[in-house]
Structure 1
Amino acid sequence: MSGYQLVDEVRAGRAHLVRDALWAGADPETTDADGVPVLCVAVAAFDGYVADALLDAGADPLRPLPDGSTPLLRAVVSGHAGLTAALLRQAADRLTEEDRAELMACARRWCGTGAEAGLRLATGAAGPAVRRRVADDFGIAAYDLITLGGMSVYDGHSAVLTRLEAVFGLHRPFDVLLARALARADGEHADWTEVVAVLAERSGAEVWDRVPALRSASDPLRRLFAADLVWGLLVLDEESAERRAADILPPWAAEETDPAVLASVLRGLTYVDVAGDGELGPAHRAHPDPRVRMVVPSLLHRTRYAYTHPEAWDVLAALARDPDARVRAAVCECLYEFEGREPARADILAGFLGEDDQLVRVKAVSGLALADDPRCVERHRR
């Protein structure tokens, strides 16, 4: 593949074809017609998958660019914490103190001005900015994508700063990081999720000792942060964290009234083995908030309840007809990964063959194929 073809695949966001080209010998330091390295093209497109492919092949995140920046510095400007972290992993051991200071100063500057005001300073453009909500390529967090004067950034510069500080060993106090998350007041935004991730990475008494007070707070945002933090601790350190979480989460699930917090508590319970916790799935099958109903399939799947009790299949069958597409997708995801060959599983999966979401249809076909169910054949042809 020629360099121009690699540039085309990078611009089109076809990460699998980018990897194929790199395996075939394409140069990860290829530049486009304007002399911009393809890694910078991926960063400008906020394309984490393509950036990962290029980094794996040896693209240099510290390559000096004509404007005095580097791909890593451009990632910081982009406001995309996931991209920044990906480039940092390839560059952290080569950064000088001057490099670190420049990256930190850039992140702080954008945090201080805000993404939209930062764009106005960078472009000199007036008029209204265009803002829309997007999920990052890694499926971990959400951002607002802001466009003005022909330039776009994500509004995750606080998340970028949080990640830079963690990588550079700057131990910010718990309350400082908590304030950053609460300032965003959005449990799905990267500014929030990055704080959760950094604190979860610390683990230890410093973090666990703060959970009870947050869990008992009257402010649902603080309770949500505590629930998300327990989940983050479970993901990173399941064996030791599970003992603590087993004491905290079951009574919390029985008492919590805020739907967002309850959904996070139940999500944490999917990582905990507690006697009788399988009953939590049926108990929340008809919860009025879809965020809660979305967790029920994973909660059932975590315990042996799903394998041994007929009521579990009734719960899943009902949720597979849920009016919210996200709930139906959660059921499909659960059954797609379930290796059993129960007839009820195949019948539920077959019901997803007409879903609007292509990924749900693909997983339904795959699950039926693994069960040798002939209903997958015709849909596969389509």
Structure 2
Amino acid sequence: MDLPFLLAAVERGDDTTVLEHLAETSYGGVAGEDGVALLAAAAYAGRHEVVNRLVACVDPTRPWAGGVDPVDWAAANGAYWVLSALLSRENDPLRADSPHRRALRVAQAALDSGGGAVPPPAHRGIITDLEEKLGIDRTPDELMARALVHADPEHEDWLASLLRITWPESQERFDWARSVVERADSLERRRFGLDAVNFLGFGFNPDNEDEPPFTEEAVELLRPRLATEQDPYALRTVVAAFTGYCTREDLPAVLPHVDHPDPRVRHGVARAFPGLLDVRPDTLAVLLRLADDPYPAVRTSAFEALSRTSVDTPALRAVLAVHLADPAFDARLEAAAALALRGDERATPVLDEVRRGIRNRNSRGAGRLEDLHYQLRARAEGPAV
């Protein structure tokens, strides 16, 4: 293992390079002192995906340089994703001396001390996750209160509370979330309630094989808010949740937001298009407009939608061909995939270029090319008789 090379990649945040090299390194080449040093560097830099890969080979409880305990450091510093990776190999969190119990004590002590780091550490999110694993119950109101301390939907405290409240899905939890939305006396509470409704839509309940029992209630709650919600974050949540719950025939209700000034609202509309084209083929022109959106994620989702439909026109192919030179890697790859699925050889040079850059399954684009291979084979074989 070339430790200086990998440390430099960690420092610049290049996870792909690190993961590619680790995939080609033997277990023994990672398990020694160099592996511990790389694990520590990745944790300090917040590169949790690298940490998650390394803990398969490196003892996550082995002290770092200076005698630093990994679990204690992550819990004390509110490093939510790093701690999750460090604890991911522990199978018995309930034993008396488990690192989960220790991490909970450390995180609670750090929270009580009132540390003022910027950005705020995720001590509350860590406590929420650890309590769940240790069987400590909290009410939805308690969990929401934790999320609203920072009131940042991008913060781990917010996410951890949402996940704890909404899994597994249940009518009772939906009723709670609906009540939060309908009675919200602040923007923050409304955002959180809408997020909970959205998360409940893709929760998993082993006894519910089809759709949540509250699907129609969710559509009734969300439909009027497509027209009235003014906050961009809340609106994109409404769009995402509505498209998740509604029938294909209801999807056109999101179309008025196709030109919304917030790119993430437009992104939500773009993601509805695989179903939209099935019921409204005339909306293809709208999708092609989204394919030229200045925001890369919107373009990428538009091309993904085109990869999932058999609609084919000269105008469609012309847009895809232009984006074979898209500056965004994912958009460029999806445009090429959509062309390839239509038998257009103009996609070949782009796909070949991506393929040449692949070293192993951790390389950028590797998963998408594998998916495309199966899509092309399915198209060639035709529908099952």
When normalised by structure 1's length, the TM-score is 0.76
| Residue in 2 that maps onto 1:137 | none
CA contact (8 A) 2:171 2:214 kept: no
Of structures 1 and 2, the one scoring higher in RCO (CA 8 A, sep 6+) is 2
Candidates 287, 295, 309, aligned match of 1:316 = 287
Aligned residue for 1:40?
40
Say yes or no: does 1:201 pair with 2:167: yes
Task: Check conservation: 2:236, 2:268, Cα contact below 8 A.
Answer: yes
Question: Identity percentage over the alignment?
Answer: 29
In 1, are the aligned partners of 2:273 and 2:305 still within 8 Å (CA)? no
Q: SS of the counterpart of 2:153?
A: coil
Shift of residue 313 of structure 1?
A: 0.8
Work out whether 1:223 is the aligned partner of 2:193: no
Shift of residue 100 of structure 1?
Answer: 3.6
Change beyond 3 A, Cα 1:114–1:31: farther
- The Cα shift of 1:225 comes to 0.8
Deviation of residue 315 (structure 1)? 1.2
- For residue 212 of structure 2, the aligned residue among 214, 222, 240 is 240
Out of 364, 369, 382, the position equivalent to 2:340 is 369
Correspondent of 1:20 among 18, 23, 28: 23
Distance across 1 between alignment mates of 2:343 and 2:302: 20
Secondary structure of the equivalent of 1:83? Answer: helix
Number of the residue aligned with 1:121: none
In structure 2, stretches of 5+ residues that fail to align are 205-209, 354-385
Shift of residue 296, structure 1, vs aligned partner: 0.6
2:362 aligned residue: none
The Cα offsets for residues 159-207 of structure 1, whole Å up to 9 and x where unpaired, read as: 2222222222221222221112122122122221221111112533542
What CA distance in whole angstroms lies between the structure 2 residues aligned with 1:355 and 1:177? 43
Runs (5+) with no aligned partner, structure 1: 118-130, 132-143, 145-153
Instruction: Report the equivalent of 1:327.
Output: 298
Q: 2:129 aligns with which of 163, 171, 176?
A: 163
Richer in strand (by share): 1
Residue correspondence of structure 1 range 106-255 to structure 2 within 5 A = 106-113=106-113, 116-117=116-117, 144=119, 155-216=121-182, 217-237=184-204, 239-240=211-212, 243=215, 244-255=217-228
Partner residue, 1:128: none
Distance 1:202 1:278, change over 3 A: closer
1:58 and 1:241 map into 2 onto residues whose CA distance is 43
Aligned pair in 2 of structure 1 residues 363, 72: CA closer, same or farther (>3 Å)?
farther
Partner of 1:105: 105
Check conservation: 1:280, 1:299, Cα contact below 8 A.
no
CA RMSD of superposed structures (Å)? 3.2
AA aligned to 1:340 is S
Q: Is the Cα–Cα contact under 8 Å of residues 200 and 232 in structure 1 kept in the other structure?
A: yes
Q: 1:314 to 1:4 in 2, by over 3 A?
A: closer
The TM-score normalised by the length of structure 2 is 0.76
Residue number among 242, 248, 255 corresponding to 1:282 in the alignment: 255
Q: Equivalent residue for 2:235? A: 262
Query: For 2:254 and 2:10, how far apart are their aligned partners in 1?
Result: 43
Q: Does 1:76 align with 2:75?
A: yes
Distance verdict in 2 for CA 1:20–1:10, change over 3 Å: farther
**In 2, Cα distance between the equivalents of 1:40 and 1:340?**
49
8 Å CA contact 1:43, 1:74 repeated in 2: no
